[in-house]
Amino acid sequence: MSSPTPETARIGNRYRLDERIGAGAMGAVWRGTDELLNRTVAVKELLAAALPSADQLEESRQRILREGRIGARLQHAHVISMFDVVVHDERPWLVMEYLPSRSMAAVLAEKGPMSPREAAAIGRQVADGLSAAHAAGVVHRDVKPGNVLLAEDGRAKITDFGVSRAVDDVQLTRTGVIAGTPAFLSPEVARGQEPTAASDVFALGATLYAAVEGEPPFGLDDNAYALLHKVATGAIRPPTEAGSMTALLMRLLSNDPTDRPSASQARDSLARIAAGQSVAGLATPSGDTQMLESEQGAPDVEPAAEQNPGTLTDAPVPAPMVIPGGGSNGGRNGGNRNGRARGGFRKRLPVIIGVVVALLVVGGGVAIGVVRANSASTEAPT
């Protein structure tokens, strides 16, 4: 990476820029030193050269300042912490936690797809960070492998809330500008609806899908508008390599946002999958409990229905729209048939008991009537 120029060797009379460690279309990230506290930090600058007009520069200034305000509200083990915002040369610079790491996108590009349990272990941490963000009223809007940092010790943290916004903040995105990566957008956002926490959950599912399948659920397309149209249909290709995570992925990628779990519910299920355990059931935001089956033949794991039959439901599990002929649905149907059979028997049991009692009563009355009739015919004069 490059070294800083003398003009930008130090900002805010406190932060020394040591090495540029990353760059994007809108800015660059430097590894620096907080000389007051003597600690390593990451410093993000806004590149003015990437913004040809004054209006775009001012908008991006507002966006990056908002990133700082949002980041300051999130202090969590799986979110990159925001320390300071410094205005230097009339540009805002963000001072953030430095995590020696690589992005999930870089790891996937080098090593290829992950195993379901490895992806679930990362997903659990990301979902935990998203849960904290949503509790603070923040929607990230751009969850993707490139915004998930992976440390050598196994820690995962979400970064770059630059296109996120607090629910009560003013929308800054100009008309016609898409905030977010099309390949990981939720269908409702691609159709022009406002992003919500459920949109982040979908993007989490798309990120984990890409981790195990090798590409996002809607594929890849150099034509961003063609890809956006495909995303808007909600027609995903069911995963074939997700194993024990298949059913959960299908839930996270539900076309209807109300059918998706919350980030905290996804976290708990991913934790069980990462530990090699079955996922017995998962409550949707509406409060309904849906059945999820883990991978068939998983070692040392009893069937979910046997572990917790109380989570079964008579309602079929709604699934995202899928491409015809795209593959199986992760074995959910079998679990639902068992659930409907058991649930139906429990519901019919009171009716069966009532019928039996009624038959006994009627039968007793008939028997008494026959006895009386026989007695009357015996006593009658010949």
- Rounded CA-CA distance 36/13 in Å is 9
pLDDT tens-digit readout, 228-264? 999 999 989 899 999 999 999 999 999 999 999 999 9
> How many percent of the chain have pLDDT more than 70?
62
pLDDT for residue 324: 43
167's tokens: 């629910």
Query: How many Å apart are CA 226 and CA 325, to the nearest integer?
Result: 22
**Residue finishing a domain among 76, 97, 118:** 97
159 and 224 share one domain: yes
Please confirm, yes or no, whether 142 is among the known catalytic residues: yes
* Range scoring the smallest mean pLDDT among 53-62, 90-99, 360-369: 360-369
Instruction: Give the domain CATH number at 229.
Output: 1.10.510.10
Residue pLDDT, tens place only, 342-381 = 455 455 555 555 544 454 444 545 444 443 444 444 444 4
Q: Is 256 a member of any domain?
A: yes
Q: Over the stretch 207-222, which tens digit does the pLDDT of each residue have?
A: 999 999 999 999 888 7
Domain count, the chain: 2
Domain that holds residue 11: 6-97
Which pLDDT tens digit goes with each residue over 261-317? 999 999 999 999 999 998 765 555 555 555 454 433 333 333 333 333 333 333 344
One domain for residues 149 and 273: yes
pLDDT of 23 reads 78
Task: Provide the pLDDT for residue 316.
Answer: 42
- Whether residue 351 is contained in a domain is answered as no
Question: Active site residue: 34, 142, 200, 259, which one?
Answer: 142
Q: What is the mean pLDDT of the chain?
A: 75
Domain-located, residue 198: yes
| pTM listed for this prediction | 0.70
Q: Tell me, what's the pLDDT at 22? A: 84
Are 326 and 255 members of one domain? yes
- Same domain, yes or no, for 190 and 266? yes
- Residue 218 gets which letter from DSSP? T
CATH number of the domain enclosing 40? 3.30.200.20
Q: Which two three-digit tokens encode residue 327?
A: 């593959």
Tell me the β-bridge partners of 20: 30
Same domain for 159 and 295, yes or no, is: yes
Query: Mean pLDDT lowest for which of 49-53, 102-106, 257-261, 344-348?
Result: 344-348
Task: Look at the alpha carbons of 162, 164, 165, 166 in this order and tell me if their dihedral is positive or negative.
Answer: negative
pLDDT at 241: 96
Say if residue 154 is in the same domain as residue 72.
no
* pLDDT tens digit sequence for 146-177: 999 999 999 999 998 766 666 555 444 554 55
**Structure confidence at residue 263 (pLDDT):** 98
Whether residues 263 and 123 share a domain: the answer is: yes
Based on the fold, state whether residues 77 and 200 are members of the same structural domain: no
58: confidence class by pLDDT, cuts 50, 70, 90: confident
Is residue 196's pLDDT more than 70? yes
